[in-house]
Structure 1
Amino acid sequence: MPTVGYANEQRHFGINIHTIMLSQVIDPLQLRSPTEDRALPVFRLGNNSIAVDRLLRELDEYQILPQLLQEIEIDRLVAQTALELAIDLNYSKSEFDRLSAQIDRTPLLCGMNSSQLKAIVDRELKLQKFKQANWGDLVEAAFHSQERQLDLVVISILTVSDSLMARELFFRIHSREQSFAEIALDYSEDRYANNGGILGPISMKTLAPEIGQVVINLQPGDLSCPFSIGEAHLILRLDELHPAQLDERTHQLLLDELFANWAKLQFSSQLN
């Protein structure tokens, strides 16, 4: 079965998912070792406890430790830059309450205590203040420079491993001998087959580049000719196109992107 990456992962609430999970590990306990008369550091994770040595091993095993170190460095850079540029990172009680309520409804964070929730909300609000102060005025220009890439689309996608089969199925769909959904259910080898091949709504920006290059040249209702990505042979149809608007969601997406580009540049300069 051909393996194709169709879309990129996204962040949740603009907060890195690893940061949310790690932010729960903040309640240090002191437990006695059964063999040593000294305290061993243990951390509470939700309703469970975990020894520090095991925690570090598992952070490394799940490849979360590099992300944690990066987030710590981001906090340092933000604090340092805010001080240098005299950026006010203070927030109002209403802002705190609004984001607290939003995050508290996230199933992943079920069981957090008030201090853990406060730490997450405090960090996120300060990050948002920092982003807005530095790049808020650049969002509109960023939007216009990549407006087409921010469009939302719904596409039908069909993936097979045989090029001749792809051509045959293309002609069946084109001649309306069978519907796209019927053929996807019967022949497609990707994870969207059971849904009749439908993917979306999804941002053009998050589509795999090879797929985005095809979709951007289609009009709603258009069917693409078969094309290849590695050993996979694909057919696409653009079902819906929703032009991008500079609304709150898009503003935040672009703000996060401008901040991420800045952070990447800071990390690169430290390595050189």
Structure 2
Amino acid sequence: MTDADGAVVWDPRQYLRYADERGRPFEDLLGRVRAETPGYVVDLGCGPGNLTATLLDRWPTATIDGVDSSVEMIERAQRLAVPGRLGFSVGDVRTWAPARPIDVLVSNATLQWVPGHLDLLPTWVGHLAPGGWLALQVPGNFDSPSHQTLFALAAEEPWASILAGQVRQRPSAPDAATYLEVLASAGCRVDAWETTYFHVLPGDDAVFEWVKGTGARPILQALPDEVRPEFEQTYKARLRAAYPPRDFGTVLPFRRIFAVAQRVAA
């Protein structure tokens, strides 16, 4: 299924299946944000809100807003809302603007879905209060077997003809040096780095279950019900060859790119 404008419909339950592994980069990202007592914190691309909610303890005096374009994700996040402290709303990160300056702006595993998002970053810096912080993290694994296999399979028949014009975008992101350059040019002190995690995933077809909740979802969603099972079975078989199951689980190497920027006070 798609929503009214043909966008991807996300499944919070599938996404949260590997909540611990998906949460680790968020923790590492926020560990480099040195804000002590921010008044206003925003999480752009907050998803189901489970990570956003952890900021309540990190900054107990802050007002926190989570924004996401997915109605399904925000409906799930609303369960975590705390009146006066933590709120969630549907919004497009490309056009969203705050009503007041932000002390900490977080965007975790979101910008890879936004074409041309480097052009957004100076605008986001402009939303920061003097001395405010911008922290972002994006996957950097688009050349990994999980993604290469997916798009190679989608280019094969009979699926290529079915998917023609249906898959709008392949998520991507630049490297850490590019984020450093853009944010430094926007008037920030910048800390940029990358990390490769080696997730050990339990269960059968674990890598498929991982990508089913994120990178593979647009293609799987675009396939009609009558052909999706065959595509999934073929994809699973190729993933098992690329990521052989071990006795202790399946190892998924996952590179991620980070940048934390502080707006230089005027």
TM-score normalised over the length of structure 2:
0.24
Normalized per residue, the structure richer in helix is 1
Query: Which structure would you say has the larger Rg?
Result: 1
The normalised TM-score by structure 1 is 0.24
- The structure with the largest strand share of the pair is 2
